[in-house]
Amino acid sequence: MIDLTRSQFMRRFALGLGLSLMVAACGGGDPGTSDAGTPADAGGVIKVATEPAFPPFESQGPDGELEGFDIDLMMAIGETAGLEVQFESLPFDGIIPALQAGTVDAAISGMTITEERAQTVDFSSPYFKAGLAIAVQEGTDDINGFEDLENKKIAVQIGTTGASEAAKIPGAEISTFDSAPLALQELVNGNVDAVINDAPVTLFAISSDNITGLKVVGELLTEEFYGIALPKGSANLAAINDALAAMIADGSYAEIYQKWFGAEPPTLPESAF
């Protein structure tokens, strides 16, 4: 049952990505390195923020325990880097402020590496390739792409790239929700015309039994890469990047990817832009 769900999900995810592959325009821009911060002690504790309503990246199991691709990946990175990972659940739009205030040491939350965010936090190398998709009710036939969203009602999760993308649509009436599942539920309830959200998460919700009566339309709106976010100048950045690179090289990254997506991971670029 779970396998069926996952493979169904992967088919749709792969299809979605296939439809939309745009050649990534490569801008310059070396991610700057910084000397600020103190080196983490070997065996140090690292407090990692996440907003755990974003399956299959992070969610809560029946007993409230965290699970998902990001959770497994972060635990393995911690093990490789000699850091003890302690997760802390935060609202998504509270994560960057928490990193800036230094109340958490890192965040893994399906967070897209954007130039705007990179001005206030540091990002690890990309660890996942994603993109935004439009979801509508199954019976909808007048929304087939971004240009059809003008003057429509759109639900998004607050503080996300989906919310930024929705803000560009002329005349759109946007409602923001604390989580992606709540935005999708608003669409199921018929209170909005569409949801703009990360494709893998929307497709996973559709292929699980949690959400019914929705479909993804059109091409992916964006190509995005997720990164682990850290306070600017964090001394943990190098250790996390080294651990990620080692895990990609030795196949342990691919193993975690297989577990959650039932497929071989794509090759990741060294930087997102």
Q: Which residues bind ligand ARG (CB under 6 A)?
A: 51, 54, 58, 92, 109-112, 157, 160-161, 180, 198
At its nearest, how many Å lie between ligand ARG and the CB of residue 198? 5
At its nearest, how many Å lie between ligand ARG and the CB of residue 67? 13
Looking at beta carbons only, is 219 or 224 nearer to ligand ARG?
Answer: 224
The kind and range of the H/E element at 136 are strand 132-137
216 three-state secondary structure: strand
61-to-84, 107, 262 alpha-carbon distances in Å: 21, 20, 20
Looking at beta carbons only, is 123 or 257 nearer to ligand ARG?
Answer: 123
Looking at beta carbons only, is 40 or 132 nearer to ligand ARG?
Answer: 132
Looking at beta carbons only, is 49 or 256 nearer to ligand ARG?
Answer: 49
14-to-31, 74, 220 alpha-carbon distances in Å: 30, 24, 11
At its nearest, how many Å lie between ligand ARG and the CB of residue 251? 26
Cα 148 from Cα 138, distance rounded (Å): 16
At its nearest, how many Å lie between ligand ARG and the CB of residue 139? 27
Cα 26 from Cα 3, distance rounded (Å): 36
At its nearest, how many Å lie between ligand ARG and the CB of residue 180? 6
Looking at beta carbons only, is 54 or 87 nearer to ligand ARG?
Answer: 54
- Tokens representing residue 12 in the block: 């749709």
As to burial, measured by CB atoms within 10 angstroms (0-12 exposed, 13-18 middle, 19+ buried), residue 267 is exposed
Cα 184 from Cα 112, distance rounded (Å): 20
